[in-house]
């Protein structure tokens, strides 16, 4: 079936032209007549003024499949971390994960790099790839054995898969719930130096240089770590990195009242590191902005800080928080959608993430200036554990289409 989207600006460039989809792909932009049997979607009837029709978000690195939260936040595809129960290290489990959200939400499993995520024996990457895995990942943990990590990178390279790595030296970060500094010392929290991130990154970059494998650091949150990635890119290494809005907007000061909703992994950093992250967002060092969606109920969050589980519910707020960086001039709208859609699609090898003929008709209609306030109690996610409760934001997703069909 053909669908025609009218009266909206198309893509980050703001092209004012009709867009047509055929089946589940984009057919054409700005040309062609409206057929009598096609469905006409007048965007001006959904958003005052028509809004902007943009590629749907691809959220690379979530810990839970939360369809309602994803659709509310404009997310049509997720890269699911292997830290599930059971772990995504078996083709049958990977296949079930790949099918669980279809057709309204596509789940792209990130298969475990090692069996059980234990960091010892390699998982069967090629078989898991055939079952639907789009990348392999180390999960929430770091592979301490350099020999194992070298084999992971080499095997993934031969399979044509990217490796998604957690960047914290386990020897330094084990048992830590905060970043070493004044705040952690004053609160008496177990902490690790920020250098734990840079040490892990440095080791893995040496192995990338040797193997030629594609490596994506799921989160890089320190000035030292970002500088290593920046230099690696300058040398032409196939390295990318991501970050969540929390590490761009919050610092370790935000845990001063033992707020467990700000208990994250990696932990919040110093304000100097936060500012370095904003600079890296602006200069292109950071490739992906993602939610880190990990809904946690009160039984996991209403505990002493050191006992609470890390994680935040971020799918619903990702676009609005990202628009904040556009409104304050840190990045432009085109750059935001590179971070949210185009680059994640490229890392996972998906024909999506941009508005172009032949690509997936995964679209969102947004009102980039609409003001609203984040309300944890009103969130549709499984749990509203957001550190941004009460924050006023601008930018709202009004509708989402997956494969040309409206799903939210």
Going by C-alpha positions, the residue among 297, 229, 293, 278 that lies closest to residue 57 is 293
Run of H or E residues at 363:
strand 363-373
Q: With a threshold of 0.95, does the pTM exceed it? A: yes
Residue with tokens 């033992």: 258
> Does residue 37 surpass a pLDDT of 80?
no
Cis peptide before 139 (omega within 30 of 0): no
Mean pLDDT of the chain: 96
Give me the residue spans of the domains in the chain: 56-353+370-396
The pLDDT of residue 17 = 87
Q: Taking residues 45-72, what's their average pLDDT?
A: 97
Read off the tokens for 385.
């554990």
Average pLDDT of 221-225?
Answer: 98
223-237 mean pLDDT: 98
Nearest to 341 by CA among 352, 326, 357: 352
Confidence of residue 53 (pLDDT cuts 50, 70, 90): very high
Phi, psi of 244 (to 5 degrees): -100, 160
| Predicted local confidence at residue 38, as pLDDT | 84
Cα separation, 115 vs 86, in Å, equals 11
Please check the confidence at residue 56 and state whether its pLDDT lies above 80: yes
pLDDT of 278 above 70:
yes
What is the per-residue pLDDT for 33?
66
- Give the 3-state secondary structure of residue 382: coil
**What is the side-by-side order of every strand in the sheet holding 239-243?**
57-62, 75-80, 106-112, 135-137, 163-165, 215-217, 239-243, 288-289
Helix (H, G, I), strand (E, B) or coil at 367: strand
Q: What's the CATH code, domain 56-353+370-396? A: 3.20.20.140
CA angle 232, 213, 109 (to 5 degrees): 115
- In the chain, the percentage of residues whose pLDDT exceeds 90 is 94
Output the pLDDT for position 259.
86
Six-digit token pair at 322?
Answer: 């990202």
- pLDDT value at residue 35: 66
Asked if residue 269 lies in contact with residue 254, where contact means CB atoms within 8 angstroms, the answer is no
| Closest of 31, 26, 15 to residue 351, by C-alpha | 26
pLDDT in tens, 343-362: 999 999 999 999 999 999 99
Looking at residue 32, what is its pLDDT?
62
CA 253 distance to own-chain centroid: 24
């Amino acid at each position: 079936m053909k669908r025609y989207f009218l009266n909206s600006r198309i893509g980050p460039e703001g092209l004012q032209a009709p867009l047509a989809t055929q089946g589940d792909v984009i057919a054409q932009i700005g040309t062609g007549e409206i057929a009598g049997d096609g469905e006409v979607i007048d965007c001006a009837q959904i958003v005052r003024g028509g809004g902007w029709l943009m590629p749907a978000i691809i959220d690379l690195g979530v810990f839970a499949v939360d369809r309602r939260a994803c659709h509310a936040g404009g997310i049509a595809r997720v890269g699911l971390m292997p830290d599930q129960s059971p772990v995504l290290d078996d083709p049958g489990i990977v296949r079930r994960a790949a099918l669980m959200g279809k057709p309204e939400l596509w789940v792209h499993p990130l298969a475990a790099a090692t069996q059980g995520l234990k960091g010892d024996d390699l998982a069967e990457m090629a078989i898991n790839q055939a079952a639907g895995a789009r990348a392999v990942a180390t999960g929430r943990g770091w592979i301490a054995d350099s020999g194992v990590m070298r084999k992971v990178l080499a095997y993934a390279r031969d399979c044509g898969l990217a490796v998604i790595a957690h960047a914290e030296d386990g020897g330094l970060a084990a048992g830590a719930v905060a970043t070493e500094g004044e705040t952690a010392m004053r609160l008496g929290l177990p902490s690790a130096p920020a250098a734990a991130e840079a040490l892990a990154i440095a080791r893995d970059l040496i192995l990338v240089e040797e193997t030629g494998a594609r490596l994506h650091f799921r989160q890089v949150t320190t000035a030292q770590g970002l500088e290593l990635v920046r230099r690696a890119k300058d040398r032409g290494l196939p390295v990318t990195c991501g970050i969540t809005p929390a590490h761009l907007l919050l610092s370790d000061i935000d845990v001063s009242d033992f707020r467990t909703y700000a208990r994250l992994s990696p932990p919040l950093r110093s304000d100097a590191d936060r500012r370095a992250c904003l600079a890296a967002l602006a200069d292109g060092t950071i490739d992906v902005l993602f939610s880190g969606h990990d809904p946690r109920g009160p039984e996991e969050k209403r505990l002493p800080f050191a006992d609470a589980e890390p994680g935040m519910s971020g799918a619903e707020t990702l676009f609005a928080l990202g628009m904040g960086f556009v409104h304050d001039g840190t990045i432009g709208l085109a750059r935001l959608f590179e971070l949210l859609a185009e680059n994640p699609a490229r890392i996972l090898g998906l024909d999506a993430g941009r508005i172009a003929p032949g690509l997936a008709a995964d679209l969102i209609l947004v009102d980039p200036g609409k003001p609203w306030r984040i309300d944890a109690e009103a969130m549709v996610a499984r749990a509203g554990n957001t550190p941004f409760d009460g924050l006023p934001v601008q930018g709202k997703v009004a509708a989402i289409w997956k494969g040309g069909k409206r799903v939210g």
